[in-house]
Chains A and B, each alone.
Chain A
Amino acid sequence: MSGDTDHGAAAIAAARVERRWAGLSIGIICVLVVLAAYTGIHQAVMPQAQVETADPRTLHISGEFIESNLGSAVEPDGSVTVRAIGQQYSFTPQCILIPTDTPVRFRATSADVIHGFLIEHTNVNTMLVPGYISAATTRFSTPADLVMPCHEFCGAGHEGMWGRIKVIEKSAFQKLAADRRRMTCVAQ
């Protein structure tokens, strides 16, 4: 490897061992990259596809993040879109209602500083950066009550920023959807 020629046989042997190890190392890295890529694609866990922007100043005045449009919406294709906002120190809606066995797409953004958006025990885990819209897709197989903490420091009240997720049977969800266009599990 050194390009020198005046070493003895031992040096040549050492260089050979070294080259083999370097080859093995490269092999390990390739396997890891392929493995990660394969599992990700296979299980559809990928970073969001698009970059979109939103102005945190006017979220509550116009556009898809106005108060009455937040929550879970049933799309024409049967999938569900959940729109949410993170702000100091809560998510709105603070309890998100989701049906089982349905593709769910989250669209969320921040109204002030950086927040985290994490549903415990799932792979839904993204950042809310003011100015940009975050997206995540998932699917729930069984009913559950889950917590949704903000996982990025967002100010002195950060420790109080816990939302909740309620996953209910698809049939029960559809009943609710019959007479409401945006659903949440916020108690009123």
Chain B
Amino acid sequence: MTEEPIFSLRNRWFTTAVAVTAGIAVVSATVGFLWLPTLQADARLAGMWDAICSAAGIVRAAPNESLVVQGTYQTSGVIAFPETMENASAISIGRGATLALPCTVCHGARGLSEADSPNLAGQYPLAIFKQLVDYKSGARVNAIMSPRVAGMSDQDMRDLAAYYAYLPRLPGQHPATAGATPRIVESGAPMRNIAPCATCHGSVDYKAGSAWLEGQSPVYLAAQLRAFATGARHNDINQQMRNIARGMSSAEIDQAAQYYAGQP
């Protein structure tokens, strides 16, 4: 009896199992592909074939029913993913060094500012490149930077980013402040939609395009956070930084700025 062929129309087990399985598949497919689509609240169907395609997951073009509202201010056009920046060549770094000569006045001879401008030495290249492109497009505006970037080519900006990223990170010019990490930096404030700073800015994890903050000028950091909070600065893609700064209190902004300034 165990020798009876299984895959045979005379085997009741075979016929029953296949018939039941196929039956369930056909019934559920009929309901799922023909009947249910017609009950969908958000379906836009033109006939039965359309319903089947839609239920099968064939990709639809996005509807064009409402016009896209254009903004009143320029936003960043940079595609900020790791693949945006290739690995820098020695030639690129060398060109960057030459191009960087005018920058030293504010950003220091080795990328370490003694004014309240940002330190650029060892900064993530994508962070530098993105700011340069945004200055050029007008997404970020600064009386000193905007005119200087106007004449730069895409390659110039990549070279500058490569050069400054190549310079060694050094402790900033700011005295280290002892003391505990402020709560707003360490844990953020979840219900105000503030994630811990370090989850994007490098020391826990890195979100492409974010800047290395350790050792930056406290004046600069606090000013940027306030500008993000008011929307005066708006070149952060999809409002990622405005969303955070908006929820911070003035005291928290100062704490965060002081904390990062004091880090090596």
Contacts and interface: CB of A to CB of B under 8 A. Distances in A.
Contact of B205 (A54, A60, A111, A155): A155
Interface residues of B, number: 54
A49 B57 contact: no
Interface string A155-169: 111111111100000
Contacts of A182: 69
23 contacts: A41-B36, A46-B40, A49-B37, A50-B60, A52-B61, A57-B79, A57-B81, A59-B238, A66-B75, A67-B75, A69-B69, A76-B65, A81-B66, A88-B195, A90-B239, A91-B193, A91-B243, A112-B207, A147-B191, A155-B205, A156-B204, A157-B205, A162-B190
A121 B69 CA distance: 31
Interface in A119-147: 133, 135, 137, 147
B77 interface: yes
Contacts of A73: 66, 69
Interface string B192-226: 11111011100011010000000000000000000
B46 interface: no
Contact of A51 (B41, B59, B69): B59
B14 to A, nearest CB: 13
Given A46-B40, A160-B195, A51 B75 contact: no
B17 interface: no
A24 interface: no
Contacts of A76: 65
Nearest to B31: A37
Interface in A164-187: 164, 181-182, 186-187
Nearest to A93: B239
A155 B75 contact: no
Report the contact-size class of chain A (Cβ under 8 Å from the partner).
Answer: 35 or more
- Per DSSP, chain B at the interface is loop
A160 B60 contact: no
B43 A85 contact: no
Nearest to B55: A49
Contacts of A25: none
A68 B71 contact: yes
A161 B195 contact: yes
Contacts of B69: 68-69, 73, 181-182
Nearest to A148: B193
A61 interface: yes
Contacts of B40: 46, 49
B144 interface: no
